[in-house]
Chains A and B, each alone.
Chain A
Amino acid sequence: MPPTTTTKKSTKKLADIDGELCGVCQACATVCPVNAIEVTESYLIVIPEKCTGCGVCVTVCPVGAITLIER
């Protein structure tokens, strides 16, 4: 895990996407205030250096594929 000092607002939390549940609708990326969720051709990735652990992505996920984990 990268050190939490890489972002100003960093918390101890980090968004974690369960790739088996995720349907790549990108609801999470759409609401992420710091653009920490990137879309590849067929899946989503969380950029740990950007993620502030705010959890807004957890709420909008239609299938509950995102959880906040400890860094």
Chain B
Amino acid sequence: MSNENRVIVVGAGPAGSSTAMGALRAGAAVTIIDRKTNVGIPVQCGEAIGKTGPGLAEINVPDESIRASVRGFRVYSPGQITVDYAEKEPSGYIVDRRVFDKELFARATEAGADSLLGARVLDITRSNGVVTGVIVRHDGRRNTLKAKVVIGADGVNSQIARLTGLRKSYKPADIDSCFAYEMANSELEVTDLMEFLLGNEVSPRGYIWIFPKGNGRANVGIGIGGTVKTKTAKEYLDHFLKHHDVAKRQLSQAKVIETRVGALPVCGPNKKNVVDGALLVGDSAGHVHPITGGGMGYAMVCGNIAGRVAAECIMKEQVSAKHLQKYEDEWRKIYGSEFEQSLKLRELILKTDDATLDKLAGIVTGESIVRMTAGKKVKIFMKAMATGDKHLIALMNELRKLRMV
């Protein structure tokens, strides 16, 4: 394979395959490499992806991977007061990640990408400080693969992030530790909403999710803060399934058909994702929603941008960080404020106690919060003020600063 105008994409998940597509369309040659030999396995995810958010109209969710359409979500407060956010039309999908990842990868290879599976990155090569390739272990041998731009799409534990110096290890408070079951024979009360359960008892510094996958299948999981020492994520989820009313109502007959683990960055994007000759996308860039933990949409939209910008820079023979910066500027334009706002909201939720969350839910429950008009925001705000509860009023004032009410 020629090294001229080649991009190496490390990681064959949604970020990597989307990056490859973006680079191919803009005229670059692409090699996708992955440590694993089976793309899409093991699944480490809640499998939800939006279809109506910024940028998402342009991405292609493979039809064959879609298991259910959802219109929004139902949140259970710690005291089990429900708040629904449901649009009239489907606003997202629950997919099968095995099919989803594999299909995106297949499409990228069909579009012209070369691939090397079972290739583990050992190091990067540099020339005059510019990244010029990767050294991999493949088939028991050490190989050097040269490229004009190396793109790290290699997940939360990104080797490319470490080797380029773009990220050192995470602090435990900055990641969530996740555990999930895929289940059959569930009896979900709503099959077109994602369910979330909050509360220090069920899921400290995180949430439990129940996502419908059609035909009685469900993805049931938990993310807890990386600093939580009381129990493991698995122990919290098992306890929920055995003892919680919401689980008893919907999952008492459900059986586990797959077990999953994962880790997520929840501290927002890296400050910097480009160096001379290399950049990061997807989880490795911290492109994960700090509250929901969702990352597939970001990975695909930002991956596309990353691939295109890398190809454009290669064509101009300018692959320095200064030129690759165009990628950072473009994704920040779409998602920068969304990440900033949700990081602030995350901090606010984390410091709010369960009793106050219940009071907030009590005020919002029954209200249609899909289109929050100014009038509705005032109404909710006034209802909270009328309670005279100082914790709730303080929370509302903070939410008002974030323009949420």
Binding site for B on A (CB under 8 A): 23-27, 29-33, 35, 39-42, 56, 59-64
Q: How far is the CA of A21 from the CA of B68 in the complex (A)?
A: 31
Q: List 5 additional contacts besides A31-B170, A59-B226, A64-B235; criterion CB under 8 Å.
A: A27-B175, A30-B169, A31-B171, A35-B162, A60-B226
Distance in Å: Cβ of A26 to nearest Cβ of chain B: 4
Chain A proximity mask over B21-37: 1 for CB below 8 Å, otherwise 0 = 00000000000000111
Chain B residues whose CB sits within 8 angstroms of the CB of A60 once the complex forms: 172, 175, 177, 226, 263
Query: For window 153-211 of chain B, which residues contact chain A by CB distance below 8 Å?
Result: 155-157, 162, 168-172, 175, 177-179
Q: Are A41 and B234 in contact (CB under 8 A)?
A: no
Distance in Å: Cβ of A52 to nearest Cβ of chain B: 12
Contact partner of B232 among A33, A35, A40, A62, CB < 8 A? A62
Q: How far is the CA of A66 from the CA of B227 in the complex (A)?
A: 15
Q: How far is the CA of A39 from the CA of B35 in the complex (A)?
A: 9
How many B residues touch the partner, as a band? 20 to 34
Q: How far is the CA of A13 from the CA of B248 in the complex (A)?
A: 42
Chain B residues whose CB sits within 8 angstroms of the CB of A61 once the complex forms: 177, 232
Distance in Å: Cβ of B10 to nearest Cβ of chain A: 13
Q: How far is the CA of A64 from the CA of B230 in the complex (A)?
A: 11
A-B contact pairs, 30 of them (CB 8 A): A23-B259, A25-B44, A25-B261, A25-B262, A26-B155, A26-B263, A27-B261, A27-B262, A27-B263, A30-B170, A31-B172, A31-B226, A33-B169, A39-B35, A39-B120, A39-B157, A40-B35, A41-B35, A59-B227, A59-B228, A61-B177, A61-B232, A62-B177, A62-B178, A62-B261, A63-B179, A63-B232, A63-B233, A63-B234, A64-B235
Q: Are B118 and A25 in contact (CB under 8 A)?
A: no
Contact partner of A35 among B37, B42, B169, B172, CB < 8 A? B169
Q: Are A31 and B175 in contact (CB under 8 A)?
A: yes
Distance in Å: Cβ of A25 to nearest Cβ of chain B: 4
Q: Are B234 and A26 in contact (CB under 8 A)?
A: no
Distance in Å: Cβ of B216 to nearest Cβ of chain A: 25
Distance in Å: Cβ of A20 to nearest Cβ of chain B: 12
Q: Are A30 and B233 in contact (CB under 8 A)?
A: no
Q: Are B157 and A41 in contact (CB under 8 A)?
A: no
Q: Are A41 and B118 in contact (CB under 8 A)?
A: yes
